[in-house]
Amino acid sequence: MVIDKEMFKMDYVEKLQTMFAEDAIDASPLHQYYALGALVKDYCSKPWIESNNEYGKNRGKQVYYFSMEFLVGRLLNSNLVNLGIKDVCDKALSELGISLIEVEDIEADAGLGNGGLGRLAACFLDSMASTQVPGHGCGIRYKYGLFKQKIEGGYQVEVPDNWLKNGNAWEIRKESKSVEVKFAGDVHLEVVGGVTKVVYENYQVVRAVPYDTPIKGYHNNTVNTLRLWSAETMEEDFDFSSFSQGNYAKAGENKYSAEAISQILYPDDSYEKGKLLRLKQEYFFVSAGLQSILRNYKKKKITIKEFHKHIAVQINDTHPAVAVAELMRLLIDEENLSWDDAWYITTKTMAYTNHTIMAEALEKWPVDMFKRLLPRIYMIVEEINRRFCNEVYHRYNGDWNKVNKMSIIYDGYVRMAYLAIVGGHSVNGVAKLHTELLKHQELSDFYEFFPEKFNNQTNGITHRRWLLNSNEKLAKLITGTIGNEWIKSPNKLEKLMGFAKDSAFQEKIQNIKTNNKINFSNYVLANYGTSIDPSSIFDVHVKRMHSYKRQTLNVLHIMHLYNQLRENPNFDMVPRTFIFGAKASPSYYIAKQGIKLINTLANKINNDPIARDKIKILFMENYGVSLAEKIIPCADVSEQISTASKEASGTGNMKFMMNGAITIATLDGANVEIFDAVGKENIILFGLTAPQVIEYYKNKNYNSYDIYNSDLRVNTVLNHLINGFLETPNNEFMGLYDSLLSHNDEYFVLKDFDAYVNAHSEIDRLYRQKSIWQQMSIINIAKSGIFSSDNTIKKYAKEIWETPPVNIKL
Ligand SMILES: *Cc1c(COP(=O)(O)O)cnc(C)c1O
């Protein structure tokens, strides 16, 4: 589709008139935005229909990415770029007296995720469409995204993220595609004419209504679908007689209980064993998604026995793992297949991605609750488990210990990861190190049993959002230097290696970074009233707040730097701006103390004449996708300092690298692969390795007090947490202090302190050598192409899904 500026202007003016009966110049910014969104959606609609038609006719295979989270962010800019009409739009609007940048700013972030896991799902959507993989997203349309974070008096305060308040320009409600999802009730088997039938009655029905969002590929005609399900009451469930008698609360009971399912996104770590609503959410979108896939499939008139040849389902973490049992239910109860046929199809369809080895994040549900909420599904899980345990028992000559260790149902719980492993054909980790840890530690019994199922798929990021769109100047320089092939073939970034030592190119890279830093400083001053120095090192630590991610280590180092300055005001260091952004889960006490600590320290240091020209601390509230797009292009240093073995992959690390930041890193997650790609000269490594950490846990021979007692620097900064130095009540940071000492520093913050301090001195030393620093920066950009999610998706498509690209013609 070729759209020129004049056409665009006409279309846009007409849109404003038909939607709002307004002229361009009179329209409010909100209306300007909605008209633009509607127009861009119109431009997507023809290729969208064409894609759906092609997929409908096509006898090939489609993949559905099931995920509890999609951290999409904004879509206007990326849709304009992928359609190839960004410049046309920009010029057309400006001739109408409208600023595209200002209009873009109106869009609310679709913040339907906590962090990396949800953002990965969003990057995959972009890459599937851009590499012509027929792949769709399936999830929940939460009415509220993750909370909006405010900082008040240094504390995190959570406010609802009412992202749909002004509507959503991209989604289309597909009423006619609604399905019913059933909960609770009674199940029994009945033999009718020699055939056993399942009778399910007295259940509650929730209506699942899909909202579809087009996912437009980059400069192709592929438009895939992100289908998010909203929970609604069945009309007949509205209790009219109670309402008419004035009993509104009773009348609304069913309505609220149904709609609660798609009200909120759970903050990351707060699902303890008993969150009934969470399990409801999981079954709700999985059941709705599979029902709609099956309905579409049946339109093709292919035998149900070939389902797995046409459909692949990727289970993103354990949250959608109940899909294994739900597909079994649909195939057996609704499609009348035998258990064996259904099992064959299910295991060939399902594939599971593991995202963490942290025990507290591996979901398990109390049997009582599971059985009450999903009685038929529980029966199926029991039967899957009975058969599986039987196999294990025979393979290991009656070793009950092995059976207990691997049983899906054990000790009163249903272990969802095990269900996903047993019920699928693929189990993947998300970085090489992580996959090895799964194979040889956390899931070693399963690796021994099903070695063929295990594979690695290192995470990736869409280089279009994280470089082309968010760092336009750098993208232009790259295109001007090596041509534009890298946009479709990100590995071509490697061509920049030829310019790593080129001093003219180095200078251009530096100028762009400086320019980004100046713009960001202006933004910070205008919006936060804090002035930061663009010539200082921007040292950035943005990600969820979590003990294993060790924001605390960063903070203790800053406290130590501060102490050095207090001792010696002439202490020689390149000025640094430490930038943080992080949300803490509302119930995560230590994480919240961490946020308060950063802000307390910022207040103290930023106002201390001894330090403020050398150290600045900035805590950016409400970290999310749009803020990440602003911060990452101006980072000099990327903090990726998790306790080795704890970060499955990380994707923030990749975004920073791609924008030329130098990583200070532990050998954890994908940091290991960044190190392999750039070599030891171009990354600053420090700290314990994963095997060392694991040894300490095993031998229990780490004692954090030893370090506290022997390292005066550590001693001083820890005392400063609780002795009034920070001018807060003495117990303000007691929890943090205790976690590091009396609870023996589970994440080895003190153990890695010395190495971390040295790593930062190394950064200081390297930064002074402009040419070396820029060379490192260029090498990082040049090697970052391998982390494009285009590569990741191609590998999933080839090794797990077996979905060849489908070319959509208009
Ligand atoms: C990339 C991203 C993350 C993941 O960051 P990690 O450093 O890998 O934890 C989290 N939140 C947002 C908004 C992101 O864009």
Which band of pLDDT confidence, cut at 50, 70 and 90, is reported for residue 328?
Answer: very high
Measure 643 CA to ligand 1 centroid, in angstroms.
Answer: 17
**pLDDT score of 470 more than 60:** yes
* pLDDT-based confidence at residue 358 (cuts at 50, 70, 90): confident
Q: Per CATH, the architecture of 466-688+747-788 is what? A: 3-Layer(aba) Sandwich (3.40)
Cα(120) to centroid(ligand 1), Å: 9
Residue 294: what pLDDT?
A: 98
Q: Whose CA is nearest to atom 10 of ligand 1?
A: 115
Q: Does domain 52-78+109-459 have CATH number 1.10.760.10?
A: no
Indicate the pLDDT class of residue 675, thresholds 50, 70 and 90.
very high
Whole-prediction pTM: 0.97
Distance 357 CA to ligand 1 centre (A): 18
Of the candidates 617, 662, 670, 640, the one whose C-alpha atom is nearest the C-alpha of residue 780 is 662
The single-letter DSSP state of residue 433 is H
In sequence order, the β-bridge partners of residue 137 are 65, 226
Residue 663 confidence class, pLDDT cut points 50, 70, 90: very high
Which pLDDT value is given to residue 43? 97
pLDDT value for 244: 66
| Active site amino acids | 355, 543-544, 549, 651, 655
Residue 372 has pLDDT above 60, yes or no: yes
CA of 101 to the centre of ligand 1 (A): 24
Please say if the pLDDT value at position 361 is more than 70.
Answer: yes
Q: What is the pLDDT of residue 173?
A: 98
Tell me the sheet residues that pair with 316.
Answer: 353
* pLDDT the model gives residue 267: 83
557 lines ligand 1 (CB under 6 A): no
Q: What's the pLDDT tens digit per position in 407-424?
A: 999 999 999 999 999 999
Residue 273, pLDDT above cutoff 80 = no
- Mean pLDDT of the region 673-689: 98
Mean pLDDT of the chain: 95
The pLDDT of residue 240: 60
What single DSSP character describes residue 198? E
Region 738-746: mean pLDDT is 98
The DSSP H or E segment spanning 71 is strand 70-73
DSSP E strands: which ranges in 161-286? 172-173, 179-183, 186-192, 195-201, 204-216, 223-233
- pLDDT band with cut points at 50, 70 and 90 for residue 239: low
Helix (H) or strand (E) holding 620: strand 615-620
**pLDDT given for residue 249 in this prediction:** 66
Share of the chain above pLDDT 70, in %: 97
Going edge to edge, which strands form the sheet with 409-410?
A: 364-366, 413-415, 409-410
Q: Ligand 1 atom closest to Cα of 624?
A: 13
Please check the confidence at residue 1 and state whether its pLDDT lies above 70.
no
Best residue among 466, 651, 657 to mutate for probing ligand 1, ranked by most atoms within 8 Å of CB: 651
Which ligand 1 atom sits nearest the alpha carbon of residue 627?
13
Distance 627 CA to ligand 1 centre (A): 11
**Protein residue with least CA distance to atom 4, ligand 1:** 116
pLDDT score at 252: 67
Q: What is the mean pLDDT of residues 90-115?
A: 96
Q: What is the pLDDT of residue 237?
A: 66
Give the pLDDT confidence of 571-585 residue by residue, as tens digits. Answer: 999 999 999 999 999
Q: Does the C-beta of 116 come closer than 6 Å to ligand 1?
A: yes
Specify the 3-state DSSP secondary structure of 151: strand
Task: Identify which has the larger pLDDT, 218 or 361.
Answer: 218
What is the band of 234 on the pLDDT scale with cuts at 50, 70, 90?
confident
Please say if the pLDDT value at position 2 is more than 90.
no
Question: Per residue in 10-69, pLDDT tens?
Answer: 999 999 999 999 998 889 999 999 999 999 999 999 999 999 999 998 788 999 999 999
**Phi, psi angles (nearest 5°) of residue 106:** -75, -30
> Does 145 contact ligand 1 (Cβ within 6 A)?
no
Task: Determine phi and psi for 385, rounding to 5 degrees.
Answer: -70, -40
List the chain domain ranges: 1-51+79-108, 52-78+109-459, 466-688+747-788
What is the tens place of the pLDDT at every residue in 494-510?
Answer: 999 999 999 999 999 99
**From the alpha carbon of 461, which atom of ligand 1 is closest?**
1
Q: Rounded mean pLDDT of 726-740? A: 95
For the segment 760-780, the average pLDDT, to the nearest whole number, is 98
